[in-house]
Amino acid sequence: MSECIFCKIIKGEIPSVKIYEDELVYAFLDISPINFGHTLVIPKEHHESASTIPEHIAGRMFRVGSRIGIALKRELDMDGYNLHLADGQAAGQVVMHAHLHVVPRGVEDGFHWNWRQLSYPEGRMAEIAEKVAGRLKLD
């Protein structure tokens, strides 16, 4: 994608502060971090959706993300980290190149995801589980 900001970062057309790079993924510091050290891990191939990323590349993204999360915890003396991937605008994806956020977290860092918590009506949980499981096609 010639206009994709992340593709331009991978090509070196836009500067970034690299954390990690290999043949499949590129990781760099987010310029508008939730907390300092907030890193993005992106596939080098352009994929708008996580659903089109080949399994070996998606696996590498999460492996690298986890290792970066551990390094951030240790080096920044943080309490934990989040791995966050939003798929699609409805999920909060802003840049349409799939990316994994690695966010170092402190117990009192003041950031909240603001998730609501619903309760399933009787039988709805089992119904959804059965339908979703029926659609899965895993090797």
Residue 30 CA, distance from chain mean position? 12
| The two three-digit tokens of residue 31, written as one number | 């310029």
Which structural domains are found in the chain, ordered by start?
5-108 (3.30.428.10)
Q: Which of 38, 47, 97, 99 is catalytic?
A: 99
Angle subtended at Cα 84 by Cα 53 and Cα 42, rounded to the nearest 5 degrees: 40
Dist. CA 5–CA 30, nearest whole Å:
13
| The two three-digit tokens of residue 99, written as one number | 């990316």
- Known catalytic residue at 99: yes
Query: Which pTM value belongs to this model?
Result: 0.92
Dist. CA 21–CA 33, nearest whole Å:
20
Is the pLDDT reported for residue 139 higher than 70?
Answer: no
Residues 102-112 have pLDDT tens digits of 999 999 999 99
Residues 40-71 have pLDDT tens digits of 999 999 999 999 999 999 999 999 999 999 99
Place of tokens 């331009």: 8
